[in-house]
Copies of this chain bind each other. A is one copy, B any other.
Amino acid sequence: MKVFLLLVCFLVAGIVRAQHALVIQSDFGTKDGAVAAMRGIAFGVAPTLSIFDLSQENTPFNIWEAAYRLKQTAEFWPAGTVFMSVVDPGVGTERSSIVLQTQSGHFFVGPDNGTWTLVAEELGIAAVRRIDEKTNRRAGSDKSYTFHGRDIYAYVGARLASGKITYEQVGPLLEPQVVRLPYERAAVAGGVLTGAIPQLDFQYGNVWTNIPDSLFDEIKPAFGDKFLVVILHEGKEAYRGVLPYVRTFGEVPAGAPLLYLNSLLNVSFALNRGSFSQKHGLASGGGWTVRLERAP
């Protein structure tokens, strides 16, 4: 009887324990089989593991975009969630393979190539460990050099998320730092806010800045107030306009421009039911900056 109860206990525990998700990001696209191969490895490690996509459609080789996607989503998953990200133009070269633990209790598995820039800043670095490929690599993968996502990251990510290994068993501790991509910080001085355009809202053409609501609050905005917005590319003016600050798109007529806080509470610009970026020929990333102040 006791044996039986222990068995039940063990079975139940095995199921209940696997309550941390593995969330996968890559630039492999969904027409190919590469993502399914990674899912298969993870499922083979732990059949009760919950496996999700962040996105598999990152722009190929665009590490900055991958970094932004993680910032955009990680905080909405519970502590313990394991993210793996494979945007890895340097696969097989000397960049390290690491697992970052943040102070928020999330884990991030993949190459240390800048991908972790934004989550390291926003969620805080708790520890960094190098993946020990002797103990944490899919059996039989030693002749494969170009698919660490399948052979290492999916394998170790699934083992960590399912509790088959502890964080300590990932590998040796490194200095608590990650490779950081450079970018322009948001700032305020003399009533003028400055910042960058880290990402567009692709699907709708909205323009997202990296100016947070806390900084915006310093110039004491109220809904309905008007702001002068200047967007620059490599220092040259690409857009200039006066936009009303609104709660939500429907407060201006269809086609009209507006300033709002996006879902990450960053200052953003849009047209109601139109594409702000397309209309004005705007993009995001290196060289794109913004300046913002109360309309005169």
Interface stretch among A96-104, A172-180, A247-255?
A247-255
The answer on a CB contact under 8 Å between B43 and A203 is no
Chain B, residue nearest A263 (CB): B147
The answer to whether the Cβ of A215 comes within 8 Å of any Cβ in the partner chain is no
Q: Which of B5, B58, B72, B262 contacts A4 (CB 8 A)?
A: B5
Does A213 sit within 8 A of B, measured CB to CB?
Answer: yes
A147 to chain B: closest residue by CB: B263
CB-CB < 8 A to A184: which residues of B? none
Task: Say whether A250 contacts B60, CB under 8 Å.
Answer: no
Interface residues of A in 69-90 (CB under 8 A from B): 69, 72-74, 76-78, 81, 89-90
B78, A44: Cβ atoms under 8 Å? yes
Q: List 18 A-B contacts (CB under 8 A).
A: A8-B8, A19-B48, A31-B55, A32-B72, A32-B201, A36-B54, A36-B55, A37-B72, A37-B263, A40-B76, A43-B52, A44-B76, A60-B203, A89-B250, A92-B247, A93-B250, A143-B265, A146-B249
